[in-house]
Amino acid sequence: MNDLPKQTSPNHDIVSQMRQLITVLKQHNHAYYVLDNPTISDSEYDDIRKRLIALEEQYPQLRQPDSPTDSVGDKPLPAFMQIKHDIAMLSLGNVFSYDELIAFMRRINDRLDQSHQNPEYEMELKLDGLAVSLKYVHGKFSQALTRGDGRVGEDITLNIKTIRNLPLFLPKCTNIDLLEIRGEVLMPKAGFARLNKQAIERGEKTFANPRNAAAGSLRQLNPAIAAARPLAFFGYSVNQGLPSDITSQSGALAYLRELGFETTPVQTARSAKDIQAYYDDVARTRSDLPFEIDGMVIKVNSLALQEDLGFLSREPRWATAYKFAAESAVTRLMAVEWQVGRTGQLTPVGKLEPVSVGGVTVSNVTLHNFGEIGRLGLMVGDMVSIHRAGDVIPKVGGVMVDLRPSDAQSIELPTSCPVCESPVVLPEGEALARCTGGLFCAAQAKEALIHFVSRRAMDIDGLGKQWLISFHDMGLIKTVADIYRLPTHQQTLVTLEGLGEKSVQNMFAAIEKSKATTLPRFIFALGIRGVGESTAMNLATAFGDLPQLQQASIDKLLSVPDVGEITAHNIYDFFRAVHNIEVINALITLGVHWQPFTAQTDLPLDGQTWVVTGTLSAMGRDEAKAHLQALGAKVSGSVSAKTAVVLAGEKAGSKLDKANSLGVTVLDESAFLALLHEHQRT
Ligand code: IVH
């Protein structure tokens, strides 16, 4: 009769081995799904599980009823069966503000008699997943239904069985004929991120959010697929079979936890003020939770009072959801305007049909750059989803192409700057379009002015930044050429508070002095993108004077040391913007001048190898390197006996030590700056 293998150890040894494996598996399930902090790898987990399965196969009669291996075969289901709920699954009403909360609480007071006014409320998190109803018969899990239409749900028993944190056997409930527990199935954020990462790696479609991922997982006809999805169950109510000594919602949740279910944290309060304080707390810390919530649920705590209050047609009177303002919304893109930033970049701004997102009305949204418009496939007239979380600026999450109207219009990059009408360029392979009118464009004026007067450019130190900006704001200075026209405003200037006759004279003297400059300084002062001091020096060396530089072809520009594709185009485009040329001509007419630049043919550092180490205060290491190269030096990364000089900034380390031990010449920053000055590099 008994065909079991002969047991070599007493039954209780096998049982205790099984119990041990079950405990370990449950701990890891908790760590993985609830804490989102797995402490072992998936394969290690599988190994433990396999060991338990092996024992269960060998000793089926000792199999523990709560074994987590009690999951499903991988036979696909034909379809989900429709089953009627014993008790309808209703939804919840909503409140969105403190005033609405007070109105909800007032409605409750109005229905309660005098002795039950201001009842205690119990608060839970509103988990953002899917509602399910679970049945346990004599403590054994027997059925799971979706909410469906509230009256009839779908039988997803096999999929639910694969959820790792769900107890399948409740040893304390074997005497309860039928226990019905309701709660939420959700996918923790970390599991969601992993799932989407895997999908991307496999070139599959990703899920938009954890809730969709959870829903998609439960709808799998093949439970083996659902089993591989990181789902978790959180109980929030006991709808049948609750022991009669439990008389409150918080008591019911404590009971669920005792049975081994996960629940949301619970808090109780009586006043609207305290409820609001808890809500504010939850709203502030929600991003720290391992799963997503969309608000808080407030329930009258006493089950007897819940019964007295009863239901409206589709929702209980005794509970409501205090929801967070939606952080995304759908609206129409009405137009696109282009804004010009202070460095000339053109940013498209979407004009929206105003919509409330996260409690704030949004009518403009940055589209970042022209490349982003292409990436989104966006057209004017499209319906777009707008996202915003916390204080984060709103952004377009996606375009509903299916809803595109027939008169939708494509979005073109403007050919001329909306501020100064200079040509707009979009360098190949770049997302950012730019206005080329750097010297003329009002949007870029402040940047251009500050750069122009700076010490390493035209060096007008008597004209401080504050005054420069004030003069610009007063309309006295529009372009850099107007700096040299300031003396015509002498009468106005001397009357300004803080500017006396004397300081105006000093200012004019500094302006006058700056007229005699050098070609490299002047080129640098123009503020062409990508043209720093050393590139300006290299351009001056290569072209000798401004007209030659102005007329240079892209190829010619590319032959200059330090000038790459992008900078070559920036220089070329800069000198093709008519307004820039007008400003340059005005500067020359107003007296700015320089000597033609003759480069030294015998470079002073020819044949020397330098090493730059430590931190320099006046410039970055790359800039120092560019200066050294322009003076003929080779710059190397390591110190050897062949090193001619080590330039050591602050906190120089092992390279300096090595230089000292090899007896290599060491220069500090001030000596280096003196050297640059001597060779007209500063
Ligand atoms: S209690 C009579 N508690 O919210 C309905 N629901 O909008 C009692 N939900 O369908 C529901 N977290 O899916 C309750 N702590 C919680 C909840 C919660 C999320 C969901 C549930 C329900 C929906 C109603």
For 94, the token pair is 């909503």
φ/ψ of 564, rounded to 5, equals -100, -175
Burial (CB < 10 A; 0-12, 13-18, 19+), residue 618, is middle
User: Residue 390: which pLDDT band, with cuts at 50, 70 and 90?
Assistant: low
Nearest to 228 by CA among 45, 427, 437: 45
Share of the chain above pLDDT 70, in %: 93
Q: What are phi and psi of 124, to 5 degrees?
A: -130, 170
Give the residue, 1 or 222, on which the prediction is more confident. 222
- Write down the pTM of the prediction: 0.52
Residue 126 a catalytic site member: yes
Ligand 1 centroid distance, CA of 114 (Å): 29
Q: What is the distance between the alpha carbons of residues 544 and 533, in angstroms, rounded to a whole number?
A: 16
Residue extents of the structural domains in the chain = 12-70, 84-323, 328-410, 436-589, 609-678
HSE, side-chain direction, 13 A CA sphere, residue 356: 5
CB atoms within 10 A of CB 305: 18
Handedness of CA 113, 115, 118, 120 (dihedral sign): negative
**Which H helix or E strand runs over 379?**
strand 379-380
pLDDT tens-digit map of 602-645 = 788 888 999 999 999 988 888 898 888 888 888 889 999 899 99
Percent of residues, the chain, with pLDDT higher than 90: 63
> What would the two tokens of residue 619 be?
């410039």
What is the spatial distance between Cα 462 and Cα 506, in angstroms, rounded to a whole number?
Answer: 6
The answer, yes or no, to whether residue 269 has pLDDT greater than 90, is yes
Sign of CA dihedral 178, 182, 185, 189: negative
**In this predicted structure, what is the pLDDT of residue 483?**
97
On average, the pLDDT of the chain sits at: 89
Among 176-180, 350-354, 497-501, the least confident range: 497-501
Stretch 368-372: mean pLDDT, rounded? 90
- Domain 328-410 fold is OB fold (Dihydrolipoamide Acetyltransferase, E2P) (2.40.50)
pLDDT tens digits for 426-482? 988 788 899 999 999 999 998 899 999 998 899 998 888 889 999 999 999 999 999
Name the residue with the closest Cα to ligand 1, atom 16: 126
* pLDDT at residue number 36: 46
Res 499 pLDDT > 90: no
Six-digit token string for 571 = 């220089």
- Of these ranges, 157-161, 217-221, 402-406, the one predicted with the greatest mean pLDDT is 157-161
pLDDT band at 658; cut points 50, 70, 90: very high
| Cα 664 to chain centroid, rounded | 49
Decide if 102 contacts 93 (C-beta within 8 A).
Answer: no
Which residues neighbour 416 within 8 Å (Cβ) at sequence distance 6 or greater?
422, 423, 424
- In the CATH hierarchy, which top-level class contains the domain 84-323? alpha beta
Strands 609-613 and 645-648: parallel
Q: Which residue has the higher pLDDT, 86 or 562?
A: 86
From the CA of 129, give the closest atom in ligand 1.
13
* pLDDT tens digits, 271-297: 999 999 999 999 989 989 999 998 999
Q: Convert the pLDDT of each residue in 138-171 to its tens digit.
A: 999 999 999 988 899 999 999 999 999 999 999 9
Instruction: Give nearest CA residue, ligand 1 atom 17.
Output: 126
Q: What superfamily does domain 12-70 belong to in CATH?
A: Helix hairpin bin (1.10.287.610)
Phi, psi of 121 (to 5 degrees): -110, 145
| CA-based nearest residue to 150, from 213, 214, 86 | 86
Closest CA to ligand 1's atom 1: 236
Mean pLDDT of the 121-140 span: 96
Write out pLDDT tens, residues 9-28.
568 888 988 888 888 888 87
Decide: 104 and 320 in contact? Cβ < 8 Å.
Answer: yes
Over 50: is that where the pLDDT of 2 sits? Answer: no
- Which amino acid makes up residue 96? F
SS3 (DSSP) at 264 = coil
Write down the catalytic residue from 50, 75, 126, 299. Answer: 126
Q: Mapping DSSP to helix (H, G, I), strand (E, B) and coil, where does residue 268 land?
A: strand
Q: How far is the CA of 479 from the centre of ligand 1 (A)?
A: 63
How many whole angstroms separate alpha carbon 27 and alpha carbon 21?
A: 10
* Residue 29 predicted with pLDDT over 50: yes
Number of H helices, E strands in the chain: 24, 27
Which residue type occupies 303?
Answer: L
CA of residue 110 to ligand 1 center, whole Å: 24
Question: Could you read off the pLDDT of 172-187 as tens digits, one per residue?
Answer: 999 999 999 999 999 9
Q: Which of 385, 659, 673, 681 is CA-nearest to residue 521?
A: 681
- How many whole angstroms from its chain centre is CA 420? 34
Whether the Cβ atoms of residue 616 and residue 666 lie closer than 8 Å to each other: no
Q: Are 614 and 656 in contact (CB under 8 A)?
A: yes
Determine the CATH number of domain 436-589. 1.10.150.20
Q: Take residue 287 and report the two structure tokens written for it.
A: 């991003």
Mean pLDDT of 507-518: 95
Residue nearest to ligand 1 atom 3, measured at CA: 236
Distance between Cα 182 and ligand 1 center (Å): 9
Ligand 1 binding pocket, CB closer than 6 Å: 90-92, 124, 126-127, 131, 147, 184, 236-237, 264, 297, 316, 319, 321
Superfamily of domain 609-678: BRCT domain (3.40.50.10190)
Above 70 in pLDDT, residue 6? no
Q: State residue 71's pLDDT score.
A: 46
Q: Say how many residues make up the chain.
A: 682
Q: List C-alpha distances in Å: 334 to 144, 394, 490.
A: 47, 16, 48
